[in-house]
Amino acid sequence: MRLEDIYSHKDWQYNGIFSWVKPVISFEVFPPKENENELYDELKKLKKYEPAFVSLTCNAGGKNNDSLDLADKIKNDLSMDVMPHLTCICNDKKSIEKKLQLIENMNIENVLALRGDKPEDNDNYCSDFEYANELVSFIKEKTDLSIAAAGYPEGHIDSPDLFTDIENLKKKVDAGANVIFTQLFFDNDKFFSYIQLVRDAGINVPIIPGIMPIISLNQIKKITSLAKITIPQSLYSRIEKFKDSPDDMKKLGIDFTSYQCRQLIDAEVSGLHFYTLNKAYSTSEILDNIL
């Protein structure tokens, strides 16, 4: 099902007292370096939550042919719809067009178009696309695929400020992006403020919050070094407290993210997009808590 159709309706469930909106659930995974069977096993555990699709990141450096092979296996072996990622970085128009043909031949309907991370050891990377809106426009021109793009509730790390970043987001939507998936965040107020700013800018496509369960202090330090993501002090203090206790840290992550998701559901978000880190446990526990 195409993204615009997935997020055009909401499933109503009745719990005996009142009706409530069940958000669309989706998961993001990445190509494992070694054993694909481990990823399949984790996805099988998550399949019972009836995700609308699995979002599949590229391999490092934009070399995502192997990712498309994996996308085909997930779609056919696990019977789960897949949304592959395509990046500007390390891709030219010829390589993107070839990948688009492969994607359409797999009967995949959705892709996520990103700039991608610049290689750390090579400033002279090859690309016919400098920004994601150029890639979105190219995909729109060449295919009938539904296109997702990325949004950043606290601004992209390379953007001078949030307002400039939202201007760039509008360029992606104007070029043909149908849905926005946000970078993960830990402060719902920043997400709600972002939604208002985006709507004020004339962007009216669905905006789906990205959610990542906390699993370790090292994880938190890494993601905050790579992106503009604020950790509320009260949460960070608890993370510090449990830094040497993996079980307590995992429980903290599940409890906090469950609370975060309940707030988002109460605000009637259209969906929840989980960055699973290729592990089912925390995401499963959160979904059991909130659905």
- H/E stretch holding 149 reads strand 146-151
What was the pLDDT predicted at 124?
Answer: 55
What was the pLDDT predicted at 184?
Answer: 97
Show the tokens assigned to 40: 């399949």
What was the pLDDT predicted at 33?
Answer: 87
CA atoms within 13 A on the CB side of 164: 6
Q: Using one digit for the tens of pLDDT, what is the confidence trace for 252-266?
A: 999 999 999 999 999
Please report, for residues 53, 66, 68, 161, the alpha-carbon distance to residue 73 in angstroms, rounded to integers and kept in the order given. Answer: 14, 11, 9, 40
What was the pLDDT predicted at 121?
Answer: 60
Chunk the chain into consecutive blocks of 10 residues (it has 291) and report each block's average pLDDT, rounded to whole numbers: 87 53 91 92 97 88 68 96 93 93 97 84 68 96 98 96 97 98 97 97 97 93 91 94 95 97 94 97 97 88
Please report, for residues 52, 189, 284, the alpha-carbon distance to residue 267 in angstroms, rounded to integers and kept in the order given. Answer: 20, 11, 22
What was the pLDDT predicted at 62?
Answer: 46
Q: Any catalytic annotation for residue 120?
A: no
Show the tokens assigned to 80: 């789960």
What was the pLDDT predicted at 13?
Answer: 53
What was the pLDDT predicted at 56?
Answer: 97
Question: What is the spatial distance between Cα 157 and Cα 150, in angstroms, rounded to a whole number?
Answer: 13
Domain residue spans in the chain?
3-290
Spatial contact of 26 and 209, defined as CB atoms under 8 Å apart: no
From the list 4, 28, 268, 285, the catalytic residue is 28
pTM of the predicted model, to two decimals? Answer: 0.93
What was the pLDDT predicted at 227?
Answer: 93
Which CATH class name applies to 3-290?
alpha beta
